[in-house]
Copies of this chain bind each other. A is one copy, B any other.
Amino acid sequence: MEVFARRPEITTSADDALKRVAATLEAELKDVEARIAKQASVFDPAIEGYVAYAMGSRGKRLRPLVALLSGGATGPITSAHSDLAVIVELIHVATLVHDDIIDEAERRRAQPTVNARWGNSLSVLLGDCLFAHALNLATSFENVEITRGIARAAREVCSGEIIQTQRRFDLHLGIADYLRIIGMKTGSLFAVAAEFGAALSEADPGTIAVFREFGMKFGTAYQVYDDCLDLAGDERTTGKTLGTDLRKGKLTLPILMLLGAAPAAERERLSDLILEGRTEEIGELLTNSSRGNALHASIDAGQRMIRDAQMSLDSVPATSHLESLVELGGALTAMLDQLR
């Protein structure tokens, strides 16, 4: 509740809210974008084009936003913050390139994926290149703890992805397991963006820990959003192949909530539908089960996480960048609302 008091207007549209946040950082984001564009040229000319393609298909740049705003909320935004923003985005894009191979996804951000365009072999190697380059850049920080933390987060991300892959079609997966997995695979990168955003501003250890907590919770909520989107989104507006998770046996929050609410007999029937890949019927049940609306319940859970994330910032002195970080939570809340 206290959190909403900070925001003068209630978000009506997700896009507007995101734009409003981005507008408070126009120059800084432009600088990050220019740096991202420049990364391609670090590679051999033979590789440059692929790197530019993978990095260029503009996403929402949420991780850079979190890095910059966390830095700005604790001091002046410096060139080191831009470096951090570039690094987290590079790691993110590297994982996307590899995820798209695994998911056999054909479109991302309304463009053909790297694997759809140049095949799996090149995608495996391009992901490796982006990843290696990100860790290269991470070695440039004076504070070696930041380098270490980024390398650790990169390992967490990969480990989370493996556990997720391993537990496909595992109908014993619980919601706690799910949250742990998405915390590793998505939360940990947001966590370092926020944590080291504050650390680069030389915030005190308590404040740094608060930002880390915000990043972890916000990132986890973002993954809940992304998972709901895969089940409830519109392929034309999202620009990516949807319904992939369930087809591939990735049991995300709405499915786990549907399973969790069902009594034993119904649970068995649902499990059969999942194992037989009857995704359309499951999609129906997500919003239309007699046991409640599992999609809405998941959206609620995501929005609660965002409020939690925002509340963890309560102890931080209010500044305009802090407001923006809270408002970023508002934007994600609105994005989740759009899936209802």
Contacts and interface: CB of A to CB of B under 8 A. Distances in A.
A192 to B, nearest CB: 13
Nearest to A103: B121
Contacts of A161: 125, 128
Interface of A: 43-44, 46-47, 50, 95, 98, 101-102, 120-122, 124-129, 131-133, 135-136, 138-140, 144, 147-148, 151-152, 154-155, 157-159, 161-163, 165-166
Nearest to A98: B124
A154 B166 contact: no
Nearest to A166: B46
A127 B125 contact: no
Contact of A151 (B121, B125, B139): B139
A319 to B, nearest CB: 32
A125 B165 contact: yes
A311 B79 CA distance: 45
Contact of A158 (B98, B129, B139): B129
Contacts of A147: 139, 144, 147
B101 A124 contact: yes
A125 B43 contact: no
A281 B101 CA distance: 35
17 contacts: A44-B159, A46-B162, A46-B166, A47-B162, A98-B128, A101-B124, A102-B121, A102-B125, A124-B127, A126-B162, A128-B131, A128-B161, A132-B135, A135-B135, A135-B154, A139-B148, A144-B144
A148 B162 contact: no
A80 to B, nearest CB: 15
Contacts of A131: 128, 131-132, 158
A163 B132 contact: no
Nearest to A162: B125
Given A43-B159, A147-B147, A165 B132 contact: no
Contact of A163 (B44, B95, B140, B166): B44
A176 B161 CA distance: 39
A49 B213 CA distance: 31
A77 B101 CA distance: 42
Nearest to A142: B144
